[in-house]
Chain A
Amino acid sequence: MKIFKLFKKDTWIRPFLGKYRKSLFFALTLGFMTFFCGGALMFNSGFLISKSAAHPENILLVYVPIVLTRAFGIGRPVFRYLERLTSHNWVLKLTSELRLKLYRVLEKDAVFFKNKYQTGDILGLLSEDIDHIQNLYLRTVFPTVIAWILTVFIVIALGIFSLWFALVMLLLLCVQVILFPLMAILVNGARQEKQKMLKNELYTELTDNILGVSDWIFSQRGKEYLEFHKEIEDKLHHVTRAIKKSNHYRNTGVQLMFGVIAIALLLWSGMQFPGNHGGAANWIAAFVLVIFPLIDAFAPLNDAAQETNIYQDSLKRLNGLSNESSDERKPSESIKQLNAPFVLTVNNLSYHYPDDNKQVLNDLTLSVGSGQKLAILGRSGSGKTTLAKLLRGDLEPSVGSLKLNGIDVSDLGESVSDYIGVIHQAPYLFNTTISNNLRIGNEDATTASLWQVLERVGLKNLVTSLPEGLETVVDEAGLRFSGGERHRLALARILLKNTPIVILDEPTVSLDPLTEQDLIETFMKQLEGKTIIWITHHLQGLSMMDKVIFIEDGKLKIEGSPDELASSNEHYKKLLAIDHGDYVVE
């Protein structure tokens, strides 16, 4: 019963239950009323017909049942309609809270989140987890609670007539609301676990091989893979069949049990209400017929209970999150406003990740003056990107210090974003209008200033040509724009933010050389006067920089102006030659 253990330690759902108690209560009441009306309709109709068959002298004697029949007939659909609206409303309110909570948890380590979970779309997964919790409520929790309320109501109502039969009924109904659902969880729990595992396996397997499909085709081994896939597929089919078969058995059991309940009601009411053409015997039909509409309330419970196995992962993942997120950055209130000129100084900086002893950066000393253009070159994995994160204070140095105007960057807290801007390889564009995307740089920017920065980054014509101009919605993840255009929009945001220092973290690697060259020229021209720290592994555009440093294996290797290096450094000369196409491999 993992689900119960999970629920016990849960910090994601339980705290919110108390919050909207009123509407929760309302939703459950309406749910109860729906089934109450359904049962009451048949109860009342059974009585009405029986009573009418006894030929009462006066039609007024059946007047009340007639009115009630209509009332219950209308009541059931109305309550059901309202119940669906209120329960959705409640669940969506909960969703808003959960989303806020998830956002806050993730926000703490926003910058590292993507690195932490390298594979898959973990963010999409988490957001789906919240949708799963919605379903858990709508499809499992609400129906189950409503069925329990109904059980209690039925048992109490019967208890008024006969205590021993109420107890018999309690026993019979408990089989339906407790025994069968419990069985569903227990019997199929392990199978579902296996089913999920196989499904995941199939999914990763297939994605993997579809990505490598051209190799399968060239190697002409495609058939082999299809056979392998079929093997797992058959295993999955086997498990799924077992689950379904046990569901069918159980559901048939549940239904037959209702047959028993109906017979029990018939026998009891036959004894309880003796009569001859009417009298107390008018109640027999009422008590027997009432059970049939209630089957709808009880029968789905066991399948619903089984679904909780599916939600376990979501609960586990969400609860796992809040524990592992790191502490927040130190508060920034005590930091006073920094003033120009801005000087970054790096002193004997070393860094290794907490869970790894390998030195990513080793004893680095560096100073970046105001308005200086510094290029940091290095191979992938040399520690350049780690350095960028340290510069912004998102990581704290293991040894040494990193100061902006004499203050540790990591002490600046959130306000670091006023001094240091970042453009990285894949700038994110939000799925909203262009103007909203730009205003992330400066929320108070006027339309005129938006157009002005668009002109500076060379996108004015493009945006003008769009059907709704600045109010055009950027597609999901900004796919409407090409790589170069996305970088230009990112630059426009930085220009609006107007930070004195800008870090360019390999912004142009995925672009073709001409686009890259144009983009670099735009960057350099528009960021003129600011401190630029440009991380790259290309030589393209380096001649526009004041200073170039090479990082190799975490150490500073070469340092100098591009011109100096080009004339005096052999390694640099060789790289230049390769880049120009003049270099021949011996």
Chain B
Amino acid sequence: MIDKKLMLLPGIKKILLILTGLALMQAVAIVGQACFLSTAIVNLWSGNGLVSQFKWILLFFLCYAIRHLVNFYREELLDKYAAEQAGNIRGKLLKKIFYLGPIVIQSNGTGNTTTMALEGIDQVEDYLHLIFAKVTTLMIVPWVVLVAIFYFDWESAAFLLGIFPVIIIFMIVLGYAAQSRADRQYASYQMLSNHFVDSLRGIDTLKYFGLSKRYANSIFKTSEKFRKATLNTLKIAILSTFALDFFTTLSIAVVAVFLGLRLIDGHMVLYPALTILILSPEYFLPIRDFSSDYHATLNGKNALGAINKILDVLEPTILPLSIDKWNNSSRLKFSNLNFSYAENKPALKKINLAVSGYKKVGIIGLSGSGKSTLINILSGFLDPNEAVIRFNDEETTSFAQKDWQKQLIYIPQNPYIFKGTLRDNVVFYQPEATMEQVKQAVEVVGLNELVSELPMGLDTQIGEGARALSGGQAQRIALARAFLDKQRKVLLFDEPTAHLDIETEVELKERMLPLMENHLVFFATHRLHWMKEMDLILVMDKGEVVESGTLDELRQSDGAFAELTRSLRRR
């Protein structure tokens, strides 16, 4: 009942031992509570005075209190343990995310990753808490109670023991029936339940078509359909709870009636009968508790599975190289670089390149030609399936090298602006930059106008939830980051201007070009005018470099580049 993986948690053996001890203690208290209460009642029934019962009443309350204090202690203990374990898992997960980076995030989605790290782990915490408490209780309490009942009357005990598997079987059978019914309805159910938020998201479209007023009816009708579908599913889904309820209460009723009949016959006396009656609900309580939290534990179990999947992703084992700072005589060469996202669908095929010193390499091609993939490989976020990479004279198979990555500046189409002040954003790569340097950077990339417009200048909050910036402004901030960091000599651009209006693009270009001097630049784009500035051009198509050379060479050869030019200028 407890996942095998859970048994690997640190300190779990000790916790389980303590929990077992607590459950035993609690079981004894439950039996004691029943015995003392029924002693007091039987004595009163027999006509003994109330005052002489105080001893028993006190003992009853003592057992009752022990039972609940054990609960209190167990909850506290598990709270601490589960929180500690959840904290550990979260730490590992975040470390993994911030180590592996975009690969994990892309394959799971940003939203999912965040949800997993926060809500997912909360669910795991609940899961750990619930599963250990409920399972240890279920393993011990009913059976101690049953032994006590057996001591008083073996026939009642036999009946209660016999009914237990019947309950379990009914719950499982009905659970499966409900599941298969729910599965069959899942698609339409899902659609109905998403219909509302779907309609809200498309509400402007409805308005544009003049349908929005009339559509209100459809909202109500669909919601009513959803209500009916939900109830139909619910009718079956709660049957298993019904079965549990039905058998437990009916069992108690049956036990009571049989005890009654045997009391009339004189086969029994009141004290054991009353104790058994008080104990029988306690016998069923743990299984009821277990089943009512079953679904909550399922969520946690699934979340834990998903998290473990990420934690199990192997970090590439690449021998770290020591790579010197890129300078005018550094050399980079790679050959036979192959990469595919999925089996048998190569995204990059046999890419070869050799550059040295401060060169500007243009990578041109249409969407899907593989230029962004190549940039991602150069940045070390993707590992080539196969490649021989040489930094100067040292050979490796991946760009995921700390010494390489710390020389990079990566400027994507939408540079990310963190929530924080404009200054914080600019100095992201150089937190120690002086005010003087920041001002210079702002000047160089043309952010002065923005700074003067902002109410608090450089200290204005920007980013998500605060003031939004335009695409051009975000690019300028990325450029300012690059300008501030004089140490990093390799610039990777991934379509930095594709989404900007043409005038903004020109202004940015004027600011970008000086920054590219004395750097190794890789510039992926489909905008032709950049090619004039490049020392070397790679023309990409369907994952291959179909042509390469200087602009003049490419123009003369009348090959792939010329063709691309023609198709882009068609109008």
Contact = CB atoms under 8 A, between A and B. Distances in A.
Nearest to B202: A428
B367 A252 contact: no
A5 B377 CA distance: 58
Interface in A201-217: 202-217
30 contacts: A42-B252, A48-B260, A49-B263, A55-B264, A62-B264, A70-B254, A73-B250, A77-B246, A89-B227, A100-B216, A104-B216, A111-B208, A113-B203, A204-B464, A208-B419, A210-B114, A217-B101, A248-B72, A255-B68, A278-B45, A293-B281, A380-B472, A417-B208, A421-B209, A514-B366, A514-B567, A537-B501, A539-B502, A578-B502, A579-B529
A48 B209 contact: no
B205 interface: yes
A467 B211 CA distance: 29
A277 B269 CA distance: 11
B97 A89 contact: no
A104 B98 CA distance: 44
A476 B65 contact: no
Given A285-B274, A512-B368, A580-B569, 17 more contacts: A70-B250, A81-B245, A88-B230, A103-B219, A106-B203, A123-B197, A206-B114, A213-B102, A214-B416, A215-B428, A218-B409, A281-B44, A282-B45, A417-B211, A477-B201, A575-B502, A581-B528
A127 interface: yes
A110 interface: yes
Interface string B198-238: 11111111111111110110011001101100110011001
Interface string B64-80: 11001101100110010
A582 B529 contact: yes
Given A80-B242, A92-B227, A417 B506 contact: no
B489 to A, nearest CB: 13
Interface string A47-59: 0111111011001
Given A48-B257, A49-B256, A99 B249 contact: no
Contacts of B509: 585
A107 B203 contact: yes
Given A204-B464, A209-B418, A513 B366 contact: yes
A213 B101 CA distance: 6
B194 interface: yes
Nearest to A38: B249
Contact of A226 (B98, B102, B408, B412): B98
Closest CB pairs A-B (n = 7): A73-B253, A417-B210, A581-B528, A537-B501, A276-B47, A512-B367, A77-B245
Contact of A214 (B257, B270, B410, B568): B410
A210 B105 contact: yes
B23 interface: no
A113 B197 CA distance: 14
Contacts of A441: 209
A208 B568 CA distance: 36
A311 B57 CA distance: 43
Interface string A68-99: 01101110111011001100110011011101
A53 B270 contact: yes
A427 B50 contact: no
A428 B215 CA distance: 16
Nearest to A422: B208
B212 A107 contact: yes
A220 B402 contact: yes
B333 to A, nearest CB: 22
Contacts of B405: 217-218, 220
Contacts of A431: 191, 194-195, 198
B387 interface: no
Interface stretch (A166-174, A262-270, A344-352, A365-373): A262-270
Given A45-B252, A256-B68, A241 B79 contact: yes
Given A212-B416, A213-B102, A226-B94, A65 B210 contact: no
Contact of A55 (B105, B246, B266): B266
B216 A103 contact: yes
B249 A56 contact: no
A285 B41 contact: yes
Nearest to A269: B44
A49 B472 contact: no
B150 to A, nearest CB: 19
Contacts of A21: none
B245 A123 contact: no
A229 B98 CA distance: 12
B113 A210 contact: yes
B434 interface: no
Contacts, number: 413
B259 interface: yes
Nearest to B551: A581
A174 B381 CA distance: 63
B53 A127 contact: no
Interface in B497-524: 499-506, 509-510, 513
B13 interface: no
Contact of A215 (B57, B367, B416, B567): B416
Interface residues of A, number: 163
A525 interface: no
B253 A219 contact: no
A208 B65 CA distance: 49
| Listed residue (A49, A244, A262, A293) with the most chain B CB atoms within 10 angstroms of its CB | A49
A515 interface: yes
A510 B500 CA distance: 10
B290 interface: no
A191 interface: no
B37 interface: yes
Given A93-B227, A204-B419, A267 B50 contact: yes
B317 interface: no
| Listed residue (A210, A248, A431, A441) with the most chain B CB atoms within 10 angstroms of its CB | A210
A575 B504 CA distance: 11
Contact of B118 (A84, A203, A267, A378): A203
A520 to B, nearest CB: 9
A245 interface: yes
Given A123-B197, A211-B416, A514-B366, A509 B499 contact: yes
Contacts of A65: 260
A252 B196 CA distance: 42
B165 interface: no
Interface stretch (B1-9, B83-91, B141-149): B83-91
A50 B264 CA distance: 10
Contacts of A277: 45-47
A149 to B, nearest CB: 21
Contacts of B406: 218, 220
B220 to A, nearest CB: 5
A222 interface: yes
Nearest to B271: A53
B256 A69 contact: yes
Nearest to B276: A49
B95 A226 contact: yes
A111 B203 CA distance: 8
Contacts of B212: 107, 110
A55 B531 CA distance: 107
B471 interface: yes
A454 B507 CA distance: 41
B406 to A, nearest CB: 6
Contacts of A480: none
Contacts of A276: 46-47
A67 to B, nearest CB: 9
Given A218-B406, A428-B201, A497-B209, A585 B513 contact: yes
Given A255-B68, A422-B208, A575-B503, A285 B45 contact: yes
Nearest to B223: A96
B186 to A, nearest CB: 13
Contact of A225 (B47, B98, B113): B98
Contacts of A540: 571
A543 B118 contact: no
A509 B470 CA distance: 14
Contact of B270 (A49, A77, A575): A49
